[in-house]
Each structure stands twice: as C-alpha cells, then as structure tokens.
Structure 1
Amino acid sequence: MAAPAHQLGPHTVAEWLSADQPEDGRRLELLWGHYMMSPAPTKTHQYAMGELYIILRDAVRTSGRPDLHVLLGVAASISTENRHGLIPDIMVINEWGEETTTEPAAMQLVVELWSSGNKKKERKAKVDAFAAAGIPFLWTVEFGAWGESRITAFRLGEGQYVEEITAKPGEAVTITAAPVPVTFDPADIVP
C-alpha cells in the first residue's frame, strides 16, 4: 500500500461518523484526517439544492432506471485509508439500504454547490477525494452576481475529472456527464 500524499490528521472515518453534526446547518467533514467545518448554507444554496434534486429525480424517473436514487446531504465514507468523510449536497446512488452513510461504489454522481465559504484548497481536496474514490460523475455549482448559477459537469477519466460542459443561465443544455441525461437551464435553479 502506497503512503498517502498528505500528512494524515488524527481523526478516522469511524470517529467522524460517530461525531455529532452541528445543529446550526454547518457540516462537519473529514479531509486527510482533519475535521473541517463547512459553513451553513445560504437560502440561495438551499433553494438551488432543492431544485437540482427535483431536476435529477425527474430525470432518473423518466429514464426508467429504478436502480438509481437521488439523495440530499448524506454522509459518504470516501476513503478510510486517506481518512476522507464528506457530505455532498446531492448524490445519485445505485444501491439502496438503510445505512446512514454511503460507500463510493454506490455513488454514480455527486453534486457540490460551492459557497464563498468553500476555499479553493478545500474545493480541490474534495474534488480529488471524489476522483480517487472512483465516483464516475461530479457536478459543481457556483453562484455569481445577481443570483446567476453556473454548473460544471465532469466525467472521471484516468483517475481525474475531465470537464465535459459548463452550463450557464439562459441556455437549456443536456448534461450527459451523469448516470442518465439531464436537460435543464441553470437559470431554473435560482429564485
């Protein structure tokens, strides 16, 4: 087994899973064995997350794929070796169970809605962790001035995410970097 590329912190995925999550909307996550507190989501973030959930759920339903399920804010044991435990905003999984956490093998798509509180280093670390876990698709959502949203869809290729499309408001697009094709206008996810 190769040594991790980063100095590992003192916390394990098991400790993270048993830790209490804050009650104020912030999220306690684990990167390289270090606890990291994500800021509480804004109203725009929550609204967009809800709209994307509906868009993805409807795409899954119309695709005829009963094996796929769309979930909001579920813990993901990304890696015990590298000590990553994350809570993506949205995920599409292909296994169902009553567990409180999801393993990477079941994750087909993860969606992260970035806020100004997500630093560049944190964003890169999360993206790298999802790629190392072998999750086939990743979408990132960024919010700009006047509530605009930009969605970038990535497909995993040779251990890294490759950008497939960046969708901007005002243009309906079909994103195929997903377990099923998804057609929508990013303008539809913000009020």
Structure 2
Amino acid sequence: MKMAKPSARDIEAAEELHQLLQMLDARFGGPFQNHEAGDDLAMLLDNGDNAFDSDNLQHLQTLYNHLARLLRNAPNFYGRVIGGMVWVIMNEANQILDPESDCIDLHPRFQQMADQLKEAERGNAAFNAVIQYMLGEGYSEEPMEFLRVWNDGNFDALRNEWPKAPAEIYYADPLADHGAIEAKAEASSHD
C-alpha cells in the first residue's frame, strides 16, 4: 500500500494541530476531565446524534473530554507522532524518504545498504562453501589447487574440473546469476 507524502499545507495543518494539543496538554498530568459530559465523542454520535454540532455544548464538552483522555493516556503522543513525521521523517537532511517520490517511499540509500549487505552475505557464503568443500568428506582433489583456482576467479575451470562443488562458491563470480545460484543451493539443501 502506498501513502502520499504530506503537502506543505498538510504539514502546516499538522504543526497547528500539534500547537493546539500542546495548549490543551499544558497542565502536568494532562487536562482534567469535565464530569458534565462523556469522554468518547464517537460513542456520543453513534448513540443518536449523526454529526458533530459545534453549537451543542454536550458535543463540545465530550470532544474536550475525549482529547483530554487521549492526552492523559499517552502524554505528548502528538509530539512523537506529528513531530516525528514532520520534523524527522520528512526532513530531507535525514535522508529517510525518497526525495524523488510523491509517496512515502524509503530513500534509495536504504536499498543500496541492503544490496551491499546481500553482497557481503553472498561473499561469506561463497567463502564458507569453498572451505567446507575443500575439507569435506569424500573430497579427493588437491584442496589448495581448488582454492587457488577459486581465488583466481577461474570459474569456468571450477565448473569443468569440480562439477560437484557447491553452487554457493559461484557467488564470487561477478558474472553469475545470483538468483539461479540461490535456487540451486536451495534445491541441493533439500537433497
């Protein structure tokens, strides 16, 4: 699911809402409840009143009580939610969101980091597979020759001379199809 980025007007409105909630929340421990009204506006409106009426004192008092309850139950939630979005996530200097996208998409640097991590994991998997193959049971070839050929990047020779070598050793091959290697490695792990 995609969510549109807030516009400049959205951000101004959110900042103003933040200020209004701060004014209501000025007392330590949150605002007091008005015992003349309920504390759930949705419940009041569901019980017969169809729409909020700003001329109806009970509606206004219940709205206040509802906000007061939220502010007592989760002090400064508006600072963390509204402020977190407006001043942290939306701040281009933090490079959290993609500046080229109209939606809330992660900055491309996160994909780059994920790709780098995946490459490092593949490098580790390749090296581990080489060592396990060299030291594995039933390996009759000269292990140092196998390691030298792998280290030199002569992957064609590896395919020809050591056809039973595990697929993971080819993660080190810059021309290899990593998706095919993962599929082959997965299949051989089930054998």
TM-score when scaled to structure 1? 0.24
Q: Which has the higher helix share?
A: 2
TM-score when scaled to structure 2? 0.24
Look at both structures and tell me which one has the larger radius of gyration over its CA atoms: 2
Q: Which has the higher strand share?
A: 1
